[in-house]
Amino acid sequence: MNIIAIDIGNTTIKIGLFVEDSERFIRAICEDEDTATQKLGDLLSEAWNQFPVIEGSRESKRNGWIVVSSVQDAWTKQVETLCRDQLGEKIFLIGRDVPLPIEMGVENPAAVGTDRVVNAAAAFAVIEDACVVADFGTAVTIDLVDENGVFLGGVIAPGFAMGAKALHTGTSKLPLIDVTVPIDPIGANTEEAMNSGLFYSAVGLLRVIVEKFAEQLGRWPQTVVTGGTSRLLKGSCDFIDSWVDDLAVRGVVLAYKKYMDDQAEIAELDQKNRDIITKKQIKRRSNMN
């Protein structure tokens, strides 16, 4: 299957190209760049042109699909416009055109960010058991999937940059910092103290939430961590089972494949029902004669 999988986050857009189920590339674009739209259009064209042309197509239509998970409406519209104007193609948006790829056990499934949902679905598809999925990006999300593959929800907290900005804007003297791995947990100056506070708050949050989830499950779940800033935590979280880059992009691919498999099953059932009806009609006509 040929898919361009797009994960539109709060600050970054990731584009994955998969040709015949093989990953060709996954690249990221920062949304606040002045040239973000141009870069996105160029990358979409580059990816789309790697798909084969459908045999016999008079319009040289390519054999592929563009599937999107998004938490940013403005960028969703931008991607739709680029795909329509540059490629002559429509997008398939998860939650609108493609059903959520995992059973939802929350109050309002439509209100859950599809990034959380595709992350959870991708992790469960591999683990096939209860798991915790933590995504460290603009925000931190830590979600639980039970042993039956049901998304139960989780927690949402500020990411590193958001926390640093809150300390800076909410006080008169604290500077704006970039969070790094602390050399020493004891900050010898204001910047180091802020850095340690933000860093170890994230480590502590992840540990405590995984423990709380484990208490509810009655056993320790496998824990998967992803997200742009998750790399900072690797040396401080020995309780994590897997670190997976670009989990959401892979979840987008999984969601569309599941949708296509479900559509194929429905079509097969419809055909069987039509065959049964046809046989009954033939038999009825035979009896009438």
pLDDT value of residue 266? 74
Number of helices followed by number of strands (H, E) in the chain = 6, 11
Q: What is the pLDDT of residues 260-276, one digit of tens each?
A: 998 878 766 666 666 55
Domains and CATH numbers, the chain: 3-93 (3.30.420.40), 112-251 (3.30.420.40)
Q: Judge whether 130 and 145 are in contact, CB under 8 Å.
A: yes
Q: Judge whether 212 and 200 are in contact, CB under 8 Å.
A: no
End-to-end Cα spacing for the chain:
50
Token digits of residue 71: 């938490």
One DSSP character per residue, 197-213 reads HHHHHHHHHHHHHHHHH
One DSSP character per residue, 207-257 reads HHHHHHHHHHHTSPPEEEEESTTGGGGGGG-TT--EE-TTHHHHHHHHHHH
Q: CB-based contacts of 99: which residues, under 8 Å, 6+ apart?
A: 255, 259, 262
Query: Using CA atoms, how far apart are residues 204 and 219, in angstroms rounded to an integer?
Result: 20
Which residue pairs, CB below 8 angstroms and at least 24 apart, start in 213-219?
Answer: 213/132, 213/144, 213/154, 216/144, 217/130, 217/144, 217/146, 217/147, 219/130
Given its phi and psi angles, is residue 67 left (phi above 0), alpha (psi -120 to 50 degrees) or beta?
beta
Query: Using CA atoms, how far apart are residues 175 and 277, in angstroms rounded to an integer?
Result: 74
Q: pTM value?
A: 0.89
Q: What is the mean pLDDT of the chain?
A: 93
Average the pLDDT over 88-95 and give the result: 97
Residue 288 pLDDT exceeds 60: no
pLDDT band for position 78 (cuts 50, 70, 90): very high
CA distances from residue 254 to 7, 66, 121, 165, 251 in whole angstroms, order as listed: 13, 13, 8, 35, 5
Indicate the length of the chain as a whole number: 289
3-state secondary structure of 83: helix
Residue 82 pLDDT exceeds 70: yes
Q: What is the pLDDT of residues 203-215, one digit of tens each?
A: 999 999 999 999 9
pLDDT value of residue 269? 65
Average the pLDDT over 195-222 and give the result: 96
Query: Using CA atoms, how far apart are residues 22 and 2, in angstroms rounded to an integer?
Result: 9
Q: What is the pLDDT of residues 130-169, one digit of tens each?
A: 999 999 999 999 999 999 999 999 999 999 999 999 999 9
